[in-house]
A and B are shown apart, each in its own frame.
Chain A
Amino acid sequence: MSLDPSFVGRTYPPTAPYQVGREKIREFATAIGATDAAHHDPAAAQALGHPDVVAPPTFPVIVTMAATRQIIEDPDLGVDYSRLVHGDQRFAYTRPVVAGDELVCTNTIEEVTNRGGHGLLTTRTDVSTVAGEPVVAVWARYVIRGEA
Chain B
Amino acid sequence: MELPTKTFRVTRADLIRYAGASGDFNPIHWSDRVATKVGLPGVIVHGMFTMALVGRAVTEWAGAPDAVVEYGVRFTRPVVVPDDDQGTEIEVTARVREVTEDGLTRLEVTATCLGDKVLSQARATIRTAR
Please give the residue numbers on chain A whose beta carbons come within 8 Å of chain B beta carbons, in ascending order: 24, 27-28, 30-34, 36, 38-39, 48, 50, 54, 56-58, 61-62, 65-66, 86-93, 95-96, 139
B35-85 CB contacts (< 8 Å) to partner A: 47-49, 51-53, 55-56, 58-59, 64-66, 68-75
Given known A31-B22, A88-B73, contact A96–B66 (CB-CB < 8 A):
yes
Give the distance in Å from the alpha carbon of A56 to the alpha carbon of B14 in the complex: 17
Task: Mark B8-30 against chain A: 1 for CB-CB distance below 8 A, else 0.
Answer: 10000010011011111000000
Q: Identify the closest chain A residue to B9 (Cβ).
A: A33
CA distance A33 to B50 in the complex (A): 12
Instruction: Judge whether B72 and A38 touch: CB under 8 Å.
Output: no
| A90 to B, closest residue via Cβ | B72
Closest A residue, CB atoms, query B63 = A36
| Chain A proximity of B27: nearest CB distance (Å) | 12
CA distance A38 to B23 in the complex (A): 23
- Measured as residues with beta carbon below 8 angstroms from the partner, the interface class of chain B is 20 to 34
| Bound: A28/B69 CA distance, A | 20
- Is the Cβ of B65 less than 8 Å from the Cβ of A86? no
Once the chains bind, are B65 and A89 in contact (CB under 8 Å)?
A: no
- The answer to whether A32 and B18 touch across the interface, beta carbons within 8 angstroms, is yes
A31 to B14, CA, bound (A): 7
Question: Considering the chains assembled together, what is the distance between the CA atoms of A48 and B64 in angstroms?
Answer: 9
B74–A88 CB distance below 8 A: yes
Q: Which 8 A-B pairs have the closest CB atoms?
A: A90-B72, A31-B21, A57-B55, A32-B52, A36-B65, A58-B52, A38-B65, A31-B17
Structural contact, A34 and B72, CB atoms closer than 8 A? no
From A27, A48, A56, B59 is in contact (CB under 8 Å) with A56
B8 nearest in chain A by CB position: A33
Q: Determine which of B17, B24, B72 lies in contact with A139 in the assembled complex, contact meaning CB atoms within 8 Å.
A: B72
Contacts of A92 in B (CB 8 A): 69-70
Q: Which residues of B contact A139 (CB under 8 A)?
A: 72
- Let me know if B75 and A87 touch, CB within 8 A: yes
